[in-house]
Amino acid sequence: MERMPKWADVVLIPLISLLLAAVISAIVILAIGEDPINAVQLMVKGALGSTYGWGYTLYYATNFMFTGLAVAVAFHARLFNIGGEGQAMLGGLGVALVCLYLPWPHWSLALIAAALGAGLFGAAWAFLPAILQAKRGSHIVITTIMFNFIAAAFLNYLLVGALKPRGAMDPSTARFPEATNLPSLHDILAPLGIGFSKAAPANIAFLVGVLACVLVWLLIWRTRLGYEIRAFGHSEPAALYAGISPTKITVVTMMISGALAGMMAINNVMGEAERLVLNATEGAGFIGIAVALMGRSHPFGVFLAAILFGFLYQGGAELSLWTNIPRELIIVIQALVILFTGALDNMVRLPLERMFMAFRRMGA
C-alpha cells in the first residue's frame, strides 16, 4: 500500500531537502564573493562549537518550539494561525504582569503562574479571531495577521505609558524581581557536574518547551479532544455528522494554539530579558510557521525543526559578526530551507517514491 518506507518519508526527504537548500545557499555565498566552506565552519562552530553557542541555539529553539507547536496544533484543525507573533507579544504582557505585580517567594511558583498568565493572554488574543471565524466566517488568516499589528500597537502604547517606570528612557517595563529569575542551563547542569556557559540565555524554559512537545503529542493523538480536532480538520461535514461542534473546535483549538504561542514569553521575557521590552518576539511567531511546516505538524518534527532554526539563527549571527556576509543572507538561507522543505516537498518526494517502487519491483 505505502509507496515507500516510513523512515524514508520522515528522515530521508527532509535530509535531501536540507542538502539542496545548503547547496543553493553555498552558490549564493559564492556569488557574493565569500567562501561557503568557511561560512559553514563558522556557523557550526558558532552555534554548536561551544556551550555558549549551544546556549544561544537552544534559547532560540525554545522560542520556535512554542510558536511551532502553536501553528502545528491549529494545522490539525485545518486552521492557519498566522497570529503567533501577536499572541506571543500578549503572552509577554501576561508574564510581565504576573512577575511585576504579584510577590513570588520562589521562581518555580512564579514560572507556573507566569506560564498560566502567558497562556491565558495568548489564548485570549487568539479567541477573538477564532470566534469571528466560527460565527461570522471572517477568515482566520486575515484576522490573525491584523491582530499581530493590533498587538504590536497595544504593547507599544503600554510600554511607553502605563508599564514604563517613571523617569526611564527606554520603552520597557521595570526589571522583574530577583525571585522570578529563572535558572539558566548553567544553573541546572552545574549540580550534575556538567559545565555550561554562564552567559548563554538558554534556561529552564527549554525543558518546559520539551514538555510542551510531549503534551501536544498526547493531546493530538491520545485524547478525545485531539481526535475531534483532527476529524474536524479532515472533514467539516463529517465532524457535523458525528456531532462535533465546528464552533467549539475552532475556538478551543485556536485558544490552545494561542496559549502555546503566548507561553513563548516564559523563555524570551521571563528567562532571558527579565523585563518586557519593545518587540520582544523578534519574529519568532512567523518562524513558527516554517517550523510547523518542516516538522509536518508533528511535535517531534517541530522539536527537530526548532533546533535547526535555532542553529540557523545563532550560526547566522556569528556569520555576520566574523565575516562580510550580511545578516540578511541568513534570511535567504532560512527562506531556502523553508522553500525546499515546505513548498518544494514533491520535487524530492516524487522521484524518491519512484525509486523505491523500482527497487521493490526488482526485489519482487
Residue whose CB is less far from another protein, 135 or 234: 234
Least Cβ distance, residue 3 to another protein (angstroms)? 8
Interacting residues of 105 by C-beta distance below 8 A, sequence separation 6+: 179
Rule CB under 8 A: choose which of 242, 321, 355, 358 binds another protein.
Answer: 242
Cβ–Cβ under 8 Å, residues 85 and 283: yes
How many binding residues for another protein (CB under 8 A)? 24
Task: Please identify, among the stretches 66-74, 162-170, 222-230, 309-317, the one whose residues bind another protein according to the rule CB under 8 A.
Answer: 222-230
Does 137 engage in binding with another protein (CB under 8 A)? no
Does 215 engage in binding with another protein (CB under 8 A)? no
Does 6 engage in binding with another protein (CB under 8 A)? no
Rule CB under 8 A: choose which of 245, 279, 320, 323 binds another protein.
Answer: 245
Cβ–Cβ under 8 Å, residues 60 and 307: no
Rule CB under 8 A: choose which of 137, 243, 324, 328 binds another protein.
Answer: 243
Least Cβ distance, residue 2 to another protein (angstroms)? 8
Helix (H, G, I), strand (E, B) or coil at 172: strand
Count of C-beta atoms within a 10 Å radius of residue 2: 9
Does 1 engage in binding with another protein (CB under 8 A)? yes
C-alpha cell at 359: 527497487
Dihedral of alpha carbons 101, 107, 112, 115, sign? positive
Does 355 engage in binding with another protein (CB under 8 A)? no
Q: How far apart (Å, rounded) are the C-alpha atoms in residues 218 and 164?
A: 40
Does 362 engage in binding with another protein (CB under 8 A)? no
Does 211 engage in binding with another protein (CB under 8 A)? no
DSSP state of 176: P
Task: Please identify, among the stretches 118-126, 224-232, 253-261, 267-275, the one whose residues bind another protein according to the rule CB under 8 A.
Answer: 224-232
Does 78 engage in binding with another protein (CB under 8 A)? no
Least Cβ distance, residue 195 to another protein (angstroms)? 40
Rule CB under 8 A: choose which of 11, 37, 211, 240 binds another protein.
Answer: 240
Least Cβ distance, residue 361 to another protein (angstroms)? 8
Does 361 engage in binding with another protein (CB under 8 A)? yes
Q: How far apart (Å, rounded) are the C-alpha atoms in residues 335 and 22?
A: 11
C-alpha cell at 303: 522539536
Largest CA distance in the chain: 79
Cβ–Cβ under 8 Å, residues 309 and 61: yes
Q: How far apart (Å, rounded) are the C-alpha atoms in residues 26 and 29?
A: 5
Does 50 engage in binding with another protein (CB under 8 A)? no
Does 217 engage in binding with another protein (CB under 8 A)? no
Does 197 engage in binding with another protein (CB under 8 A)? no
Cβ–Cβ under 8 Å, residues 67 and 83: no
Q: How far apart (Å, rounded) are the C-alpha atoms in residues 216 and 260?
A: 10
Does 359 engage in binding with another protein (CB under 8 A)? no
Residue type at position 24: I
C-alpha cell at 176: 522583574
Does 241 engage in binding with another protein (CB under 8 A)? yes
Does 28 engage in binding with another protein (CB under 8 A)? no
Residue whose CB is less far from another protein, 31 or 364: 364
Residue whose CB is less far from another protein, 110 or 231: 231
Count of C-beta atoms within a 10 Å radius of residue 168: 11
Task: Please identify, among the stretches 77-85, 95-103, 226-234, 283-291, the one whose residues bind another protein according to the rule CB under 8 A.
Answer: 226-234
Does 354 engage in binding with another protein (CB under 8 A)? no
* Phi/psi of residue 277, nearest 5 degrees: -110, 170
Q: How far apart (Å, rounded) are the C-alpha atoms in residues 47 and 53?
A: 4
Q: How far apart (Å, rounded) are the C-alpha atoms in residues 166 and 156?
A: 16
Q: How far apart (Å, rounded) are the C-alpha atoms in residues 72 and 64?
A: 12
Rule CB under 8 A: choose which of 223, 335, 350, 351 binds another protein.
Answer: 223
Does 235 engage in binding with another protein (CB under 8 A)? yes
Enumerate binding residues for another protein (CB under 8 A): 1, 218, 222-225, 227-228, 230-231, 234-235, 237-238, 240-245, 357, 360-361, 364
